[in-house]
Structures are given as C-alpha cells and as structure tokens.
Structure 1
Amino acid sequence: MARILVLGIGNVLMGDDALGSHVIKELEARFTFPEEVTLIDAGTPGVDLTAYMAGHETLLVVDVVRAKGQPGEFRYYDRAKLMEKAPMVAMSPHEPGLREALLTADFMGVAPSEVKLIGVIPDVVDLGVRLSEPVRAALPRVIDEVVADLTAHGAAPTPRDPPAKPDLWWETPRGM
C-alpha cells in the first residue's frame, strides 16, 4: 500500500463542491508520482472514507470547507484542528465527515499518523458542473500546496513535459 494518499472529495455535479475532483485530475495531468503516492478522486465517499484512509501513513484531503471568509480563500487544517469540534450526526451523502471517519479509523487502529485538509471556501454549492471564478482562481495554490506537502514528505512529483489535458469529463458537453 502507498505511504501517502491524496484524496479529492466532492460532488462534480454541485459546482464548487467539485474542487477535490478538479485538483486530482489536474495533478494526474501535470505530474507523475512516486510509487509511495496514491491519488484518488473519491467523490462523496460517505462511510467508505474510513476504508480509503486505512493503512496509509499520511493523508492529504482536498475539499471545499465551511469557514468564515470570502469564496476562494484557502484553508489548511492539520489533524489536531480537524478534531477540535464534536462529531456530527450523518445527515447527507457527505457524512460521515472527515472527523468522524478519522475517529472510526483510530478506533480500528488503521488511521494515518498525519492528516491534513487542504480546502477552499466555496462560492456556489448548487446544481452545476463548473467551478465559480473564486474557487477556480484558487486551484493553482491548492495544487502547489499538495506538491509542497508531497515534496516535504520525500515524495516529490515529477512534472510532465508537456502536461496532459486534465480529464474533466463532467465539464465536457455530451457528444464531444
């Protein structure tokens, strides 16, 4: 199993909620990764979130975040910050959330030792297949942060020359 997991979370049919998927597809198109790194576009994993993270040493999660601030603002949370609030009752396809999945993984003895959430405050989380301009503008910083984290863990990706076009299938009109 790979030592580091980069996990994109979100629903590609809900506007800015597709941030995690965008980042994973951009990373795959722009870089090759060492064997110890796995990239997964998990969609809205719900209870499967614990299974995705199980057994990895490091987990980098990319998602939109509810936080005070302006749409497109970057946020970075470590495990301690994520665990500050009490667990939530599952009320949506996103649930259980990251915090609850970490608690479950801890209980099972399979939690990553290091967890980071790289997030952006969304502008529009509603039916639609495009990122808002503020969130789209934040994409380069999020990608840079993931690459910096991987590099700090001794697993620097190698840029593709030339980079490929990302497979953003949900933004492609049918029949094209």
Structure 2
Amino acid sequence: MSAIATKSTCHPGGDTLPARIVVLGIGNLLWADEGFGVRCIEALQQRWEFADHVQLIDGGTQGLYLIQHVQQADALLIFDAIDYGLAPGTLKTVRDDEVPRYMGAKKMSLHQTGFQEVLSLAILTGKYPQQVLLIGCQPQELEDYGGSLRPVVKAAMEEALALGVAELERWGARPVARRTPLAAREVVTPNELALTAYEAQRPSAEEACRIGDERFMLKGA
C-alpha cells in the first residue's frame, strides 16, 4: 500500500515512524477462545504504558464501527483468534496486504466477517494503514458460552504479547513497564469482565446450563 499517504515522524536514526498507532483486540469474551484478542489487549494495558500516539482498543465484535480507528491509523496491530487449521495455541503472524485475506479465510464468527469488511473498506477509501501486523492464535474451543480461554491458548498469550511489544517498540510506541495504576475509566475491559473475575465468578455446569435451555430444545434431539 505504498501509494497511500500517511503521516509520520522521523526517528533520530533516520527511520520513518508511524505518527498514530492503533492496537486492536477483537473477538467475543463470552465464547471461550474467541476472547483471545481482547484478553491480549487487556493484559497489554495492565502491564505496559505507551507513548501518547498509541491507542489500545477493545474492538470486541463491533465490526464496521471500527472503521474510523483503522482509517486513522498509520500502523495497526491486531490480536485475534484465527482458524489457521493448525494445532491449538499455535501463533501465526501476517502482515500488511495479506491480513484481509487471512481474516476471511475461514470465518469462525460474525465478528471476523465484519472486520474483514472494515479492512476492505479501508483499502477502497485509500486509508489502509501503511503497516499492519496480525497476531493470530489457533483456538481450541469456541462452543462454550461463558467459558474462558483454554490453557493452551492462555499460555500462548505470553508469546503473542512479546511479539506485539517488540513490534510496537520497532514502530516507536516506547513501551515501558506500567508504573501508573489504571483508573476505572481507563480500562479497556470492565472490571467485572476482567480475566480473573470472569473466571472466578463463572457458575458451575450444574448451576448454569451451557448447552441450551431444554424447554426450547427439540425432543429426542
């Protein structure tokens, strides 16, 4: 996308750095490994501070509502659960113009359909970020409403975060270990949905049916 004009600043070493960096975590916290992207953003914000031109966004399942953030970004980092057909917990990175193709290769949910459209619209409007990195994780389990990340996917978060922070450092995001506590209004994930609280408060299978209400299921199915 070299023909697309973007704002930039110059690094003392002569490299051109993006003037606006957007970090997006997309997915649905309520469906087990679908929450991978949002959990990465949550952890990134809890552990690190960044320069003022860096914006962390819990994109959830907002789809086309995210278009303005993509169009305004000079560099875009995306965390998401992607069905690459690999072993659960496997990470795969994809860059730049290849990202829309991978987002739509094998859709797991409506949020991926929506976000693929966002990227396509950004290209059509000539406002696709100059640099894009997708850090995707192969999920293990999606059909578990109210469930959390499976251990193999949760473990993959550490490597995903390391990859993300390294890229953000290269882009000039100036990541440093967090020193300032987050105010309630600043957190990307509401406290009641934060990973620890979410997992601790989940009802048992006996208390909350996870396969559907038997009153509305077909008899004998």
Fold equivalence (TM over 0.5): yes
What SS does structure 2 have at the residue aligned with 1:99? helix
| Aligned 8 A contact 1:15 1:129 in 2 | yes
How big is the shift at 1:43?
0.5
Q: Higher relative contact order by CA 8 Å / sep ≥ 6: 1 or 2?
A: 1
Instruction: Say whether residues 1:52 and 2:52 are aligned partners.
Output: no
How big is the shift at 1:63?
0.1
The Cα offsets for residues 32-60 of structure 1, whole Å up to 9 and x where unpaired, read as 11111100011012222322312110110
Instruction: Say whether residues 1:128 and 2:146 are aligned partners.
Output: yes
| Aligned 8 A contact 1:13 1:170 in 2 | no
Alpha-carbon distance in structure 2 between the residues aligned to 1:149 and 1:7: 14
Identity %: 34
Instruction: Say whether residues 1:12 and 2:17 are aligned partners.
Output: no
Instruction: Say whether residues 1:33 and 2:50 are aligned partners.
Output: yes
In the alignment, which residue of structure 1 is the partner of 2:119? 102
CA 1:140 to 1:86, structure 2 compared with 1: closer, same or farther past 3 Å? closer
Output the TM-score relative to the length of structure 1: 0.85
Question: Which aligned segments of 4 or more residues in structure 1 are displaced greater than 4 angstroms?
Answer: 83-88, 161-164
Structure 2 counterpart of 1:170, from 198, 215, 218: 198
Larger radius of gyration: 2
What SS does structure 2 have at the residue aligned with 1:8? strand
What are structure 2's unaligned runs of at least 5 residues?
1-6, 8-18, 183-190, 203-221
How big is the shift at 1:86?
10
The Cα offsets for residues 112-135 of structure 1, whole Å up to 9 and x where unpaired, read as 111111010000012233100110
Instruction: Return the letter of the residue paired with 2:175.
Output: P
In the alignment, which residue of structure 1 is the partner of 2:167? 149
What SS does structure 2 have at the residue aligned with 1:12? coil
Instruction: Say whether residues 1:113 and 2:130 are aligned partners.
Output: yes
Instruction: Say whether residues 1:160 and 2:178 are aligned partners.
Output: yes
Alpha-carbon distance in structure 2 between the residues aligned to 1:87 and 1:145: 23
The Cα offsets for residues 43-87 of structure 1, whole Å up to 9 and x where unpaired, read as 012222322312110110100011121000011011232245796
C-alpha RMSD of matched pairs (Å) = 2.8
Instruction: Return the letter of the residue paired with 1:146.
Output: G
Output the TM-score relative to the length of structure 2: 0.69
